[in-house]
A and B are shown apart, each in its own frame.
Chain A
Amino acid sequence: AQKVTQAQTEISVVEKEDVTLDCVYETRDTTYYLFWYKQPPSGELVFLIRRNSFDEQNEISGRYSWNFQKSTSSFNFTITASQVVDSAVYFCALSEEKAAGNKLTFGGGTRVLVKP
């Protein structure tokens, strides 16, 4: 069964600090997909990134970067030089190739609070 764990429930930082969000997943499938979504205070879910299990390259998009390590089943997310607008709940999610219904399994989320 697929499972996603986000051990950090809440992280508080001061603006311009870096913050890393941990995501550990469990799956028996050899082909799977990992996602990060952002949920700002307004409540909508915003897609950030998708990564498949065969692509372990790290990715950088502006101040966001992702570190995918199959050896440790982790897909961590770093925000560099955080800004107040980064305050949100961030969800990591997993979808197995064989999962019925394209089911996304979400972690419990990490709330990030960036203080000015």
Chain B
Amino acid sequence: NAGVTQTPKFQVLKTGQSMTLQCAQDMNHEYMSWYRQDPGMGLRLIHYSVGAGITDQGEVPNGYNVSRSTTEDFPLRLLSAAPSQTSVYFCASRNNRGRHYEQYFGPGTRLTVT
């Protein structure tokens, strides 16, 4: 199993540009989520999905959209990038045994918005 994969690893955007961060998992996990990591703040939840066709907002959803058309994929879209969105983005998934089992994280995407 590849686990949780994310592309790209690095990205530089100009203010106002849009892009999609890709996330895929091959563990048949129903639950997937997106976090952003900023210095000294740990990770904060952006959006999450409990299954295909179902998404919901997390702690810091503004400026981001998600969709979940398949169990495997959970892309994160930045509609109009802003410098405040410069961060490291992590996708995570959890198995179906229980709501509070550990989440497994992808390798991250480092995004810089100039």
| Cα-based distance from A32 to B33 in the complex (angstroms) | 19
A-B contacts at CB below 8 angstroms, number = 63
Is the Cβ of B107 less than 8 Å from the Cβ of A43?
Answer: yes
Whether A107 contacts B42 in the complex (CB less than 8 A), given A101-B33, A101-B48, A101-B56, comes out as yes
Whether A91 contacts B42 in the complex (CB less than 8 A), given A50-B101, A97-B100, comes out as yes
| Cα-based distance from A108 to B42 in the complex (angstroms) | 4
- Number of residues in A with C-beta < 8 Å to the partner? 25
- B41 contacts across to A, CB distance below 8 A: 108
Residues of B bordering A, CB below 8 Å? 31, 33, 35, 40-45, 48, 50, 56, 58-59, 88, 90, 94, 99-108, 110
17 intermolecular pairs with C-beta atoms under 8 Å apart: A33-B100, A35-B102, A37-B105, A44-B107, A45-B108, A47-B102, A47-B103, A91-B43, A93-B43, A101-B56, A102-B94, A102-B100, A103-B48, A105-B42, A106-B42, A108-B40, A108-B42
